[in-house]
Amino acid sequence: MEDYAPLLEEILKQEQELQFSRFTNGTAIELGNAILEKATRMGKQIVVDIRKNGQVLFHAKMDETGLNNDRWIARKANVVNHFGHCSYYMNVLYKSWNTTIQDNAFVDPMEYAAEGGCFPLLIRGVGPIGTISVSGLSGEEDHGMIVSVLEQFLKSNQP
């Protein structure tokens, strides 16, 4: 049986470290564009969605993406909003329990997807205020795209 503990710890550490001191609409635009720029450099086609307090602040779709990507974003964001952790954490957690989110949490699979690609928008000392989502790659790659850009973005833009 695979040991998921190190990966779960790593994801929780990312949630602890990748927090903003403040987040404005302008921050959403800068961050969304940074994610798109990375995807372009990598030759990847994605959708990026950033929401604060339920309000869409940034939503962009690259060529070769469609409505299905929007649906994935909505389902992954529902997981983050419901459980308070990134969707990849919930994916790995349920794998470690040898179950699924639908069987364990009794949620509608058409509304919830415990798959990587949605990260809580966290304000240090406040908590979650929204979501940062990517769709278009594998769940692990969607998560990695968000985390890698967040690490660089926070290093460059936060006091």
What are the residue ranges of helices labelled H in 3-45? 5-17, 25-42
Residue 141 maps to a domain: yes
Residue 89 maps to a domain: yes
CA distances from 115 to 15, 25, 90, 121, 127 (A): 16, 26, 7, 17, 22
Q: Is the dihedral of CA 147, 151, 157, 159 positive or negative?
A: positive
Residue 41 maps to a domain: yes
pLDDT digits (tens, 9 = 90+) for 41-71: 999 999 999 999 999 999 999 999 999 999 9
Judged against a pLDDT cut of 60, whether residue 153 lies above it is answered with yes
Q: What's the domain range around 57?
A: 5-154
pLDDT digits (tens, 9 = 90+) for 77-121: 999 999 999 999 999 999 999 999 999 998 999 999 999 999 999
pTM (2 decimals)?
A: 0.95
How many domains, the chain?
1
Residue 159 maps to a domain: no
CATH number, domain of 23, equals 3.30.450.150
| Cα–Cα distance measured from residue 125 to residue 123, given in angstroms and rounded to the nearest whole number | 6
- pLDDT category at 158 given cuts 50, 70, 90 is low
